[in-house]
Amino acid sequence: MLAGGEPVDFDALPIARRSSPILRVAVLASGRGSNLQALIDAQRAGTLPVEIVLVASDKAQAPALRRAEDAGIATLALDPKSYASRAAFDADLFARVAGHEPALIVLAGFMRILDPTALAPWVGRIVNIHPSLLPKYRGLHTHRRALEAGDATHGTSVHFVDAELDGGPLLAQAEIPVLAGDTPDLLAERLLVQEHRLLVACVAEIAAGRVALVDSRVRRDGVPLGAPLRLRADGSLA
């Protein structure tokens, strides 16, 4: 509510006015929630100035929801099977998420293709983490596919989301070497450590107002990126 008691029309406000100094973040997750946990841990450690206002899932049993509850974060579970269509599910999901007034939505293992209509108002305010060096290996089984291709390196990407599966402008990547004897599980385990660091670094840059999507291009300090930022050993992006 405004001081005068008028309800706030959030859709009518520019993004900057919607965000408080502490970035309000909603996280969507379908499973384990280790990337969510990395955000929670960084926020608690004081290295990530955000407030996680909601964790939502398409799976009521998702461990991510339990992690959120343990952290005292509001949760929401919606069952896609109880909706007539993907569009109806996504419309309701995003409407409910919007009710928590996030300035940013983070897809942290949210394993669904998004309906373009529901997504449209959020473009520029929604990011996804994916376990490959996009544009390589969109979709599933990325670790196995990297091994089968004989890649020397593998990695993870954070990107602004558009209607394409694992598509949209790249923000940053972290790379790891593929080692002799690697299996998909070993590779996934080593990469996950970097996923956590990369996601925290990216959300921190967005929270600091350094990185934004403007005119379909990712800009850092106002300058369009020529290539995705890279995660450095000290956890910063360059």
**Residues assigned a catalytic role:** 130
Of 191-210, binders to ligand GAR (CB under 6 A) are 195
8 Å CB contact between 176 and 132? no
Question: Considering the complex, what minimum distance in angstroms separates the CB of residue 176 from ligand GAR?
Answer: 13
Dihedral through CA 197, CA 201, CA 125, CA 61, nearest 10?
A: 30
**57 binding ligand GAR? (CB under 6 A):** no
Calculate ∠ Cα 160-199-164, nearest 5°.
25
**129 binding ligand GAR? (CB under 6 A):** yes
Task: Select from 139, 153, 238, 156 the least CA-distant residue to 192.
Answer: 156
**29 binding ligand GAR? (CB under 6 A):** yes
Please give the full DSSP string across 189-233, using - where no structure is assigned.
HHHHHHHHHHHHHHHHHHHTT-EEEETTEEEETTEEPSS-EEB-T
For ligand GAR, the binding residue among 67, 130, 143, 197 (CB under 6 A) is 130
Rounded CA gap, 80 and 106, in Å? 19
Nearer to ligand GAR (CB atom), residue 123 or residue 219: 123
The phi and psi torsions of 107 (rounded to 5 degrees) equal: -90, 110
Nearer to ligand GAR (CB atom), residue 64 or residue 127: 64
Rounded CA gap, 182 and 147, in Å? 8
Amino acid sitting at position 63: P
Nearer to ligand GAR (CB atom), residue 49 or residue 184: 184
**58 binding ligand GAR? (CB under 6 A):** no
For ligand GAR, the binding residue among 24, 33, 158, 212 (CB under 6 A) is 33
Question: Considering the complex, what minimum distance in angstroms separates the CB of residue 179 from ligand GAR?
Answer: 19
**108 binding ligand GAR? (CB under 6 A):** yes
Task: Select from 224, 226, 231 the least CA-distant residue to 204.
Answer: 231
Please, which residues bridge with residue 128 across strands? 107, 159
Nearer to ligand GAR (CB atom), residue 109 or residue 124: 109
Nearer to ligand GAR (CB atom), residue 195 or residue 205: 195
For ligand GAR, the binding residue among 58, 166, 182, 205 (CB under 6 A) is 166
Residue whose Cβ sits closest to ligand GAR: 109
Question: Considering the complex, what minimum distance in angstroms separates the CB of residue 216 from ligand GAR?
Answer: 21
For ligand GAR, the binding residue among 32, 59, 112, 220 (CB under 6 A) is 32
**159 binding ligand GAR? (CB under 6 A):** no
Cα–chain-centroid distance for residue 42? 15
Applying CB under 6 A, the residues found at the interface with ligand GAR are 29, 31-35, 64, 108-109, 129-131, 166, 195
